[in-house]
């Protein structure tokens, strides 16, 4: 399979290594330094695009891919105000678009655990206060992380007494606080806490490296080839 990489930072380089190990070919490596070469990415040269760039570049990259019907796997966060438009373009051009805030298999199992715990805690919202904490490396540009937002959405959907999340600020009773920290080279840590006067319940996911994210993205690229529509990790994992 011929894979074009849009975004060739640390994550892009790990994706490249894993793709090559799995027998794939890298047809293009596009970053801000050679952005004009995006025009060379087309159906004649590329089977699937993997987009891990930046919040500033993602929308333009994805618009290009959708307009030309290129199957695309995207892991960039911080651009989701345009997601509905990208999905509309994908459907209009009978393309394939796969988005996840986190491609780690473990994190996606953690998403399901988070939803289940929220449902279990629903009768006890008067006793327990819920909060979310996330830590990432200092080079991560957006906060809260896309993974933290997905976790927050899972809580809001299932807990019943929260209507929105707030970032790095004290929350009202109907709000879920997400506390974000940027430290060193931390690949990603996410923690959900339910605290009462008598005890505390916590679930936590700690990533040890970028390899889990990269492997998941390459597997998604393999899975999406030949399909049409809008997909995510739940589709691929059958969750």
Measure the CA angle with vertex 75, ends 70 and 76; round to 5°: 100
Is 205 a known ligand-binding residue?
no
Is 64 a known ligand-binding residue?
no
Is 128 a known ligand-binding residue?
no
Is 102 a known ligand-binding residue?
yes
Task: Return the residue matching tokens 């691929």.
Answer: 236
Rounded to an integer, what distance in angstroms lies between the CA atom of residue 111 and that of residue 45? 36
Catalytic, 140? Answer yes
Strand bridging mode 72-74 / 48-51? parallel
Catalytic residue among 29, 82, 83, 140: 140
Is 150 a known ligand-binding residue?
no
Catalytic, 227? Answer no
Phi, psi of 103 (to 5 degrees): -95, 0
Catalytic residue among 24, 136, 190, 205: 136
Token pair, residue 41, equals 């990415």
Phi, psi of 69 (to 5 degrees): 65, 30
List C-alpha distances in Å: 55 to 4, 102, 115, 229: 18, 15, 27, 23
Is 138 a known ligand-binding residue?
no
Is 147 a known ligand-binding residue?
yes
Is 146 a known ligand-binding residue?
yes
Is 75 a known ligand-binding residue?
yes
Q: Counting beta carbons within 10 angstroms of the beta carbon of residue 109, is it exposed (0 to 12), middle (13 to 18) or buried (19 or more)?
A: middle
Is 116 a known ligand-binding residue?
no
Annotated binding site for NAD(+): 75-77, 100-103
Annotated binding site for NADP(+): 35
Annotated binding site: 35, 75-77, 100-103, 137, 146-147
Supply the residues annotated as catalytic.
Answer: 136, 140
Annotated binding site for (S)-2,3,4,5-tetrahydrodipicolinate: 137, 146-147
């Amino acid at each position: 399979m011929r894979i074009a990489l849009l975004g060739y930072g640390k994550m892009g380089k790990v994706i490249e290594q894993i793709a090559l190990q799995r027998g794939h070919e890298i047809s293009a490596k596009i970053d801000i330094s050679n952005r004009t070469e995006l025009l060379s990415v087309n159906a004649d040269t590329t089977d699937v695009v993997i987009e891990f760039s930046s919040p500033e570049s993602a929308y333009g990259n994805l618009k290009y891919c959708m307009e030309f019907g290129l199957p695309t796997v995207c892991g960039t966060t911080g651009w989701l105000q345009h997601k509905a438009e990208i999905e509309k373009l994908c459907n209009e051009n009978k393309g394939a678009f796969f988005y996840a805030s986190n491609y780690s298999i473990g994190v996606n199992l953690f998403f399901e655990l988070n939803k289940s715990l929220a449902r279990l805690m629903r009768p006890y919202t008067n006793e327990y206060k819920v909060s979310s904490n996330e830590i990432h490396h200092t080079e991560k540009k957006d906060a809260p992380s896309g993974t933290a937002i997905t976790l927050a959405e899972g809580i809001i959907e299932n807990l019943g007494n929260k209507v929105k999340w707030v970032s790095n600020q004290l929350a009202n009773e109907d709000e879920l606080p997400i506390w974000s920290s940027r430290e060193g080279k931390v690949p990603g840590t996410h923690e959900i806490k339910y605290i009462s006067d008598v005890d505390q319940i916590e679930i936590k996911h700690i990533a040890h490296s970028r390899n889990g994210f990269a492997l998941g993205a390459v597997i998604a690229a393999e899975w999406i080839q030949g399909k049409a529509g809008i997909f995510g990790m739940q589709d691929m994992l059958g969750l």
